Structure 1
Amino acid sequence: MNATFANDIFRQSIQDYHLTDHVDTPIKNPYSPNGIAFLLYQKNWIDTVQWHLEDIIRSPTISPDELVAVKRRIDQSNQDRTDTVELIDSWFADLFTGITTKPEARMNSETPAWLLDRMSILQLKIYHFREQVNRPAVSDEHRQKASQKLDLLLEQESDLARCFDELHEDIQNGDRYVKVYRQMKMYNDPTLNPVLYSQKQ
């Protein structure tokens, strides 16, 4: 498991989504449900659909009913994204079971899964800025600005990949460790969100 492996799966998911380029396209995850590849593909598919939902909700012609429906769908997508990241962190926790952490080891605030979350979204930015660079019938200025941003994103891709691989290696060697703190979001829980639980009283 390394950054190249993860980024390849993220790119595959993005390419597969754009075969239809529709937010209602059912996911057809090609990987075994028991492996990390399945979770990485699922994670990026969620991100990709949400990326396009965020475009839709900004349409100046969207109806109020559709806006509410899409906003609720984005809220659910955020919950699904968080749940999937936590499943990925659980996979890593199992992977690193048995590793002896050195007494001088430093704690890393970001877990491997949340770093992968950033990498997944970065692949979406790269895909869509590359699309803008190659977009027909735009000005040279538009293409140049998109190209400059794409160059920065590609630099970030390299940086995050290195950070992920170094974190993975350091944890395996006992030089760094992470703690998994579950997100414990309240707004989707009918027992914790006061707007929701007050309606039941």
Structure 2
Amino acid sequence: MNSIAPLPASKELAQLHDQALQDHDGLQEPAVDQVDELRLWIARNHFYNSKLWAEEDLARRTQVTDSEIAANKRAIDRYNQARNDATERVDELLLLRLGLVDAQSARSDTPRSLAPAGARLNSETAGTMMDRLSILALKIHAMRRQVERRDVDEAHRSSSRAKLGQLLQQREDLGSCLDALLADAAAGRAFFKVYRQFKMYNDPRFNPALVAEAAAARG
């Protein structure tokens, strides 16, 4: 296993996510020279989730033009693809450090797993769990703001406090599961794979509507 930097623990991820949201709502792209490659892609995943979250809010507006909502929807599509790509890159780098994927094929459409004999396959990847932790951080950040609002009644704040407590518990539970998976993977007891989502609707070669548009344009 690569010893350049330890694998990230869930508490470190929570701190990274929360700090980015506290500093700039997660909307500042991470600097390349601040973190190692794995942590850079974890930070990028959180950045894309933050951008996606902001666009989702804007897409629910009711007093703007249809063209503005269409622009929001296209931005949502771009950020969702980028978030997915970042998640897959996190999985590649984690598995490379763990020695659980063939380095030559790790970035291909068909990465070759190097799982030890007898290890259990985890259906969810560590990268996907980190992506879920990022989304939970966004929910926690947004719910905490509801608790702090002064333009609503106490019933709203009380309800928000209860929801915030549940979100914090969910993050702690998911973080414990992630830590256990990485510990088991490092010890040869478990493994996960790089899974490709193959989002065909974003690929003009596979989306039938885009294929039809291209054919019509060619005449």
Q: Could you state the TM-score of these two structures normalised by the residue count of structure 2?
A: 0.83
Offset of residue 107 of structure 1: 0.7
Deviations 1:152-198 (A, max 9, x none): 01111110110010000000111111122211110010100011112
Asked if structure 1 preserves the Cα contact closer than 8 Å seen for 2:91 and 2:193, the reply is no
Mapped partners of 1:169, 1:128: distance in 2: 31
Mapped partners of 1:41, 1:28: distance in 2: 6
Q: Which residue of 1 aligns with 2:3?
A: none
Runs of 4+ in 1 over 6 A off after TM superposition: none
Deviations 1:103-135 (A, max 9, x none): 332110001100000000000111111110011
In the superposition, relative to structure 1, how do residues 65 and 165 fare at CA in structure 2: closer, same or farther (>3 Å)?
Answer: same
Q: Which residue of 1 aligns with 2:197?
A: 183
Q: Which residue of 1 aligns with 2:23?
A: 16
In the superposition, relative to structure 1, how do residues 141 and 69 fare at CA in structure 2: closer, same or farther (>3 Å)?
Answer: same
Mapped partners of 1:177, 1:196: distance in 2: 38
Q: Which residue of 2 aligns with 1:150?
A: 164
Equivalent of residue 51 in structure 2, options 22, 41, 49: 49
Unmatched tracts of structure 1, length 5 or more? none
SS where residue 187 of structure 1 aligns? helix
Q: Which residue of 1 aligns with 2:69?
A: 67
In the superposition, relative to structure 1, how do residues 11 and 30 fare at CA in structure 2: closer, same or farther (>3 Å)?
Answer: farther
Mapped partners of 1:56, 1:101: distance in 2: 44
Offset of residue 31 of structure 1: 4.5
* Correspondence 1:31-180 to 2 at 5 A: 31-32=33-34, 34-97=36-99, 101=115, 103-180=117-194
Asked if structure 1 preserves the Cα contact closer than 8 Å seen for 2:38 and 2:94, the reply is no
Deviations 1:120-151 (A, max 9, x none): 00001111111100111211110111000001
SS where residue 153 of structure 1 aligns? helix
Q: Could you state the TM-score of these two structures normalised by the residue count of structure 1?
A: 0.90
Mapped partners of 2:30, 2:44: distance in 1: 9
In the superposition, relative to structure 1, how do residues 150 and 33 fare at CA in structure 2: closer, same or farther (>3 Å)?
Answer: closer
In the superposition, relative to structure 1, how do residues 51 and 98 fare at CA in structure 2: closer, same or farther (>3 Å)?
Answer: closer
In the superposition, relative to structure 1, how do residues 61 and 107 fare at CA in structure 2: closer, same or farther (>3 Å)?
Answer: same
Task: State the identity %.
Answer: 34
Moved more, 123-132 or 92-101: 92-101
Asked if structure 2 preserves the Cα contact closer than 8 Å seen for 1:10 and 1:40, the reply is no
Superposition RMSD in Å: 1.9
Mapped partners of 1:98, 1:187: distance in 2: 30
Mapped partners of 2:33, 2:14: distance in 1: 15
Moved more, 109-118 or 31-40: 31-40
Q: Which residue of 1 aligns with 2:206?
A: 192
